[in-house]
Amino acid sequence: MKHEITVTVNGTKHTAEVESRALLVHFIRDVLNLTGTHIGCDTSQCGACTLLLNGQAVKSCTILAAQVDGKEITTIEGLATDGNLHPVQEGFWQEHGLQCGFCTPGMIMSSVDLLGRIPNPDEQQIRHNLEGNLCRCTGYQNIVKSVQFASKKMSGAAGDD
Amino acid sequence: MTATSIIGTAIARTDSAEKVHGQTRYAADLTAPGLLHARLTTAYQAHANITNIDTSAALKVPGVKAIYTGKDLLPDGPEPASRPMAMLARDKVVFYGQPVAIVLGETEEAAEEAAGLIQVDYEPLGVNVDPIASTGKDATPIRSRDIDAGEGEGEAHATVSGGAEMDVSDLGPNVTDAVAFKRGDVEKGFSEADVIVERTYRSHSVHQGYIEPQAMMVVPDPVGHLTIYTPTQGQFFVRNMVANALGLEHNDITVVPMEVGGGFGGKTCLLQPLVAATAKRVKLPVKLVLSRMEEFLLTTPAPGTVIEIKSGAKKDGTITAIRVRGVFDSGAYPASPTNVATLISGGYYRCANLDLEGVEVITNKPGVGAYRAPGSPQATFAIDQNIDEMARKLEWDPLEFRIHNISVEGDPQPNEEPWPAIGAKEVLEALRTHPLYTNKPTGPGEGIGIAVGGWPGGVEPCAAHLRLNTDGTVNLSLGSMDISGTNTTMAMIAADTFGVPMDQIRLTTANTDSAPYAGMSGGSKVTYTMGIAVQAAAEEARQQVMAIASAELEASPDDLEMIDGVVQVKGSPDASLTLSQIATMSMSFGGKYIPVSGNGKSAVQDKAPGFSAQLAHVHVDEDTGEVELKHLVVAQDVGKALNPAMVEGQIMGGAVQGVGWGLYEGLIYDDNGQPLNPNLMDYTLPKLDQTPTLEIILVEKTSKAGPYGAKGVGEPPVVPTAAAIANAISDATNGARVSEIPMTSQIVLEAIQKRDS
């Protein structure tokens, strides 16, 4: 069975017909060609497919495309605005929070969500809130530093640092 | 030279921008006109004859284009004993999850549905799961022993000359290799010892755990040339394997190496020949992306091991004898790092009497492959826990006991080759003054542990090409895959040697048609060997630039200097030429100079083994057996840290993989050879909240041959972690010895109970 959905992705409205069983991650990758959202496992453990749905981080392999009708999605490709990096992107770059880069988009989207909820997380909060995203290259320490970098920068911009 | 050398400064990866934007292309992102999607039918028996394959129902699924079985791809001759060459099982399956058929469909869904409808009938055979039982003479033979599998992949990452090959003909039918290193008289050594420590250490098979599943797309052209897009650590290796499997020449195939989304030894060549064979038949592009379950079922994990160690030492701290009996579970294909692991298991410490034997056995499990320092974490978990126990029994401080006995330059390895300038002693000494060591944590359940471990290091000839463009920018072309930030370091070396700012250099990982030769990116050898080739290429191009400038400026090359892309007569900035001007004179119609184009080659022979010593702080709950790893200090000899950001990143990633070995990871098989945890729900990769804070101490004892004295960095940090954690657990529990990894709470609890009995 097919469903017609209208969804805003990275600020652009798309209308499409999707199969009932189609996962959001396949819609994003195969229909919209936004391949920065990755697939790393079949069981929602790795978090490589994480994106923002109405501002909240979700694993797009656990959501059906048919469920996102009328909603707003931000993927890694839409995070920078007007060519300016999001502070989390800057953090992963400056603090060497990435190596092979495969987990990076999902890790960044989860971090954006985290800093929206907890602007100044301590190390334990960062580790706890990002435990749904796996990275095999970095040993995580520089990812923690990347989030701390962004947190500092974002609170600085808000004038309370 | 640039005005100030950038070597030794922390520089972010040159691909950071594309990666934080999600713009890096991985093989799974690719498509092509007419693309077919492949799915596999895999065996649900671990050892069985195939009696029939019925594809009729599967062929009726709309959108299915073709189905191939083993008989289609390899009709005659014996089934190859090499995983990539065997492609599909034909007469019998030898492990659960082995591919028996491949379906090509217009959509992945169609192919998937059809793959599930293929009916395979089996006649079950005896299944070999336990490696020790599989060494027995009465074990069901998996295949005839005289079929040569070629060089084991695990072995290919280290360059160690072997111990004596032992005759395996009177051992069981599944024993495929046996090596021995002997020195002196161990019985005499044991009789001189005041203390003997004898224990058997076990490890399970673990997966490399890269987050990007294996993927490949093969595009045939109308005249039969194949272009293969795949993430691989060795593009020339893939090309050669596919050529061998399909009976093609090397130049019938182009391998385009895609970004490797984590490899760690696991992404070499596995299913590329199979997919290439099908693409060649249907004359259409074919793409295969593995699922995570397929990753666990049918790729090439690291071998499980059973290592028995008996050691003896005197009260004065002299180790008098080490005897090792190692069994390496190679899965269904002989490819385990028996030689390296056996050498490592008795090779770190000075000892007059050695009797080290390692046996490789095949079992009905997926054939093993390389994983970061193949064989070394398992061997080190055994030897460095044994040595720790020895030190405590002798009432020596475990760190001082190691420093007293550790091999230094000139001491013989078990193969009698002298150790080169290794930093094993220095990394141990670096822990001596650490506050965690000088001011040991006290309190119930608190403990610290030390271990040291290393990696012999690999070498392989390689080449590099550097070309100047007429706008003054530079192209550096390499055949080595960047799996660890090496491209950034290579660009730094080229910039430093050639004399331009780093942002002028564009590094391309070229394909097998255009790249200068490079071997597999593995064995901690890319920077160590390719760095030399890049230096040579940049130096040759620099000399060409200087020769042109010398002629044009009418000055001796000795009187010229190049600073930030401008060549000038020393002290006379007015007499100068830009690189763009020089390049244009060498690359324009009617030009009179040879194009500025430098070729660099290296065939480094000196090895530079790398060592890491680690200090772990744990808390153990004696009621539950639960271990909390609170802190991990990693001291590593890197020779010279060319880019400390990359070096520390490698070390941290490796050490956390060591944490996985120690506490979390292990593939579990039932008696029928079926894996019980082939997914990331039940197989635990360390998560953010399960990893300790890490502290890295870089020790720089320069190598003789590496660029700027650098040594390989990738392998050593994974090696001693599990042993350090085990030693910390023993310290925390008043001597409970955990002899099996992963050290789950159940296994730790058993060790505590054994201590009390």
The last residue of a domain, from among B289, B322, B339: B289
What's the farthest any 2 CA atoms get from each other in chain B? Answer: 90
Write out the residue range of the structural domain in which residue B569 sits.
460-602
Does some domain include residue B374?
A: yes
Q: pLDDT at position B147, please?
A: 54
Q: pLDDT at position B363, please?
A: 98
Does some domain include residue B732?
A: yes
Residue B689 burial (CB count, 10 A): 15
Q: pLDDT at position B146, please?
A: 59
B307: confidence class by pLDDT, cuts 50, 70, 90: very high
Q: Cβ of A93 under 8 Å from any chain B Cβ?
A: yes
Q: pLDDT at position B619, please?
A: 98
Q: What is the DSSP letter of B184?
A: S
Tens of pLDDT, residue by residue over B70-113, are 999 999 999 888 899 999 999 999 999 999 999 999 999 999 99
Tens of pLDDT, residue by residue over B624-677, are 999 999 999 999 999 999 999 999 999 999 999 999 999 999 999 999 999 999
CA distances from A155 to A115, A126, A146, A148 (A): 10, 16, 14, 11
Does some domain include residue B1?
A: no
Instruction: Kindly report the CATH number that applies to the domain delimited by A87-155.
Output: 1.10.150.120
Please tell me the pTM assigned to this model: 0.96
Q: Residue A77: left if φ>0, alpha if ψ -120 to 50, beta else—which one?
A: alpha
Q: Which of B259, B483, B649 sits opposite A142 (nearest CB)?
A: B649
Look at residue B346 and tell me whether its pLDDT is greater than 90. Answer: yes
Q: B246 and B261: one domain?
A: yes
Distance (Å) from the C-alpha of residue B418 to the closest C-alpha of chain A? 33
Tens of pLDDT, residue by residue over B233-254, are 999 999 999 999 999 999 999 9
| Best residue in A33, A84, A99 for a mutation probing chain B (most B CBs within 10 Å) | A99
Say which CATH number the domain at B102 has: 3.90.1170.50
ipTM: 0.97
DSSP symbols for B243-276: HHHHT--GGGEEEEEEP-S--TT--SSSSHHHHH
Give the residue from B488, B498, B399, B501 showing the smallest Cα distance to B452. Answer: B399
Structural domains in chain B (count): 3
Q: Which of B263, B485, B679 sits opposite A42 (nearest CB)?
A: B679
Q: B444 and B467: one domain?
A: no
Q: B246 and B313: one domain?
A: no
Q: B621 and B594: one domain?
A: no
Token pair 């090596």 in the structure block, residue: B179
Q: B528 and B658: one domain?
A: no
Q: pLDDT at position B158, please?
A: 56
Helix, strand and coil content of chain A, in percent to the nearest 5, comes to 40, 20, 45
Question: Is the previous residue joined to B742 through a cis bond, with omega within 30 degrees of 0?
Answer: yes
In whole angstroms, what is the distance from residue B735 CA to residue B185 CA?
Answer: 30
Does some domain include residue B195?
A: no
Per-chain mean pLDDT for chain B: 95
Q: B329 and B280: one domain?
A: no
Q: B39 and B106: one domain?
A: yes
In whole angstroms, what is the distance from residue B154 CA to residue B372 CA?
Answer: 9
Token pair 């720790």 in the structure block, residue: B388
What would the mean pLDDT of B468-482 be, rounded to a whole number?
96
Q: pLDDT at position B160, please?
A: 60
Q: Under 8 Å CB-to-CB from B733, ≥6 apart: which residues?
A: B445, B447, B620, B622, B748, B751, B752, B755
Does some domain include residue B158?
A: no
Is the Cβ–Cβ distance between B672 and B44 less than 8 Å?
no
Tens of pLDDT, residue by residue over B267-292, are 999 999 999 999 999 999 999 999 99
Does some domain include residue B745?
A: yes
Q: B309 and B453: one domain?
A: yes
Beta pairing partners, A19: A2
In whole angstroms, what is the distance from residue B684 CA to residue B119 CA?
Answer: 33
| Best residue in A33, A39, A102 for a mutation probing chain B (most B CBs within 10 Å) | A102
CB contact under 8 A, A140 and B22: no
Q: pLDDT at position B690, please?
A: 97
For the beta sheet containing B99-105, the strands, ordered from the edge strand earlier in sequence to the opposite edge, are: B64-69, B99-105, B36-42, B286-289, B215-220, B226-231, B253-258
Structure-block tokens of residue B594: 């040879």
Distance (Å) from the C-alpha of residue B19 to the closest C-alpha of chain A? 6
In whole angstroms, what is the distance from residue B737 CA to residue B728 CA?
Answer: 10
In whole angstroms, what is the distance from residue B128 CA to residue B142 CA?
Answer: 8
Look at residue B43 and tell me whether its pLDDT is greater than 60. Answer: yes
Is the Cβ–Cβ distance between B172 and B131 less than 8 Å?
no
Is the Cβ–Cβ distance between B377 and B718 less than 8 Å?
yes
Q: B577 and B620: one domain?
A: no
Q: B500 and B381: one domain?
A: no
Say which CATH number the domain at B708 has: 3.30.365.10
Fold agreement between A2-78 and A87-155: no
Q: B633 and B646: one domain?
A: yes
Tens of pLDDT, residue by residue over B103-140, are 999 999 999 999 999 999 999 999 999 999 999 999 99
In whole angstroms, what is the distance from residue A14 CA to residue B503 CA?
Answer: 39
Q: B447 and B471: one domain?
A: no
The fold adopted by the segment(s) A2-78 is: Ubiquitin-like (UB roll) (3.10.20)
In whole angstroms, what is the distance from residue B151 CA to residue B170 CA?
Answer: 23
Domain segments of chain A: what residues?
A: 2-78, 87-155
What would the mean pLDDT of A131-138 be, rounded to a whole number?
98
Does some domain include residue B235?
A: yes
